Structure 1
Amino acid sequence: MLYFVLKSLHIISDIIWIGGMLVNAFVIAMVPPTIRTAVISALRPYDRKVTTTALGFAWLFGLILAVSYGWYATGWFGLKLLIVIMLSALHGMQSGWLRRMEADPHLDPPAFVRVGMPIVLVSVVAVVGLAVVKPF
């Protein structure tokens, strides 16, 4: 029973975290500079309070599951962990660039941050595939 509760909390946290990252990616890539400051001013409190908190809970519940069920020693988990570390770093870069772009709406972030949406989507597909199939 505890396994299903932890797994559910982990998945709920993941959905909220990834949803926030996709919104961040959309704002960074698609919102024109003329309205960028207002949109980012509205988004940043949500990112700090909701998306970042969900990221923390996703890590917490994921690590509890990995340690409790011995997944930390498997190959699929190592690859999944690497992808999740990359997503966490991307979220940090998104947050930093949102802060910078709020101060100067004409700044353009580096390509890695600007194309965050496909990076997030492909990473999520890979992570879910690894977690479900557990190929190695």
Structure 2
Amino acid sequence: MTDVPDFGTALTLTYVWIKAAHIIFVIFWIAGLFMLPRFYVYHQEATPGSVEEQRWIEREKKLRTIIINPAMALVWILGLALAYITGAWQEGWFHAKFAMVVLLSGYHGYMVGYGRKLAKGERPASGKALRVMNEVPGIATAIIVILVIVRPF
């Protein structure tokens, strides 16, 4: 008897580990996307050129480079691997989920760009608009979870 699993078992074990990692990095990504607009609100309320503003610039950069950007990359890599393993490309719910993840990635890119503008001293959106933007990740996450769990189509 051998301790090496057959291909079917190995694929199953690989699948569950990839799925677990995917969910973990989704949590990191979405948590960061919840935090980032809130950071921007506080940043915008800081006096331009102040030490406090500089601290917000540093915090935002760390959040983006240490947590959000790597988490998003891993979500994409692991998610595409899961889609390949499960053959999800043929499922209607997956197409809708994929579209939502593309939109959420676009939101991510917009928020990263907004942070760069803030770091240069620009403040193109109001604090109220940023507070509204803070709701986007939550709404997107709820829709994605429903699509994955309920699979309405």
Normalised by the length of structure 2, the TM-score is 0.80
Residue segments in structure 1 that go unaligned for 5+ positions in a row? none
Structure 1 counterpart of 2:16: 4
Structure 1 counterpart of 2:85: 68
Report the alpha carbon displacement of residue 27 of structure 1 after superposing the two structures with TM. 1.6
Per-residue displacement from partner, 1:28-85 (whole Å, max 9, x unpaired)? 2344132444212222123123210000000011011011111111111111111111
Structure 1 counterpart of 2:29: 17
Structure 2 counterpart of 1:135: 152
Aligned AA for 2:31? G
Asked if the contact 2:21–2:78 (Cα under 8 Å) also holds between the matched residues in 1, the reply is: yes
Asked if the contact 2:36–2:63 (Cα under 8 Å) also holds between the matched residues in 1, the reply is: no
CA distance in 1 between partners of 2:85 and 2:120 (Å) = 44
Is 2:148 the counterpart of 1:116? no
Aligned AA for 1:107? R
Structure 2 counterpart of 1:92: 109
Aligned with residue 63 of structure 2, among 20, 32, 46: 46
SS across alignment from 2:134: helix
Higher alpha-carbon Rg: 2
Structure 2 counterpart of 1:80: 97
Aligned AA for 1:90? Y
Aligned AA for 1:88? S
Percent identity of paired positions between Structure 1 and Structure 2:
26
Q: 1:110 to 1:57 in 2, by over 3 A?
A: farther
Residue segments in structure 2 that go unaligned for 5+ positions in a row? 1-12
Asked if the contact 2:15–2:85 (Cα under 8 Å) also holds between the matched residues in 1, the reply is: no
CA distance in 2 between partners of 1:27 and 1:46 (Å) = 10
Report the alpha carbon displacement of residue 108 of structure 1 after superposing the two structures with TM. 2.5
Aligned AA for 2:21? L
Runs of 4+ residues deviating >4 angstroms: none
Structure 1 counterpart of 2:41: 29
Asked if the contact 2:33–2:68 (Cα under 8 Å) also holds between the matched residues in 1, the reply is: yes
Report the alpha carbon displacement of residue 109 of structure 1 after superposing the two structures with TM. 3.0
Report the alpha carbon displacement of residue 25 of structure 1 after superposing the two structures with TM. 1.4
For these two proteins, the number of residue pairs brought into alignment is: 134
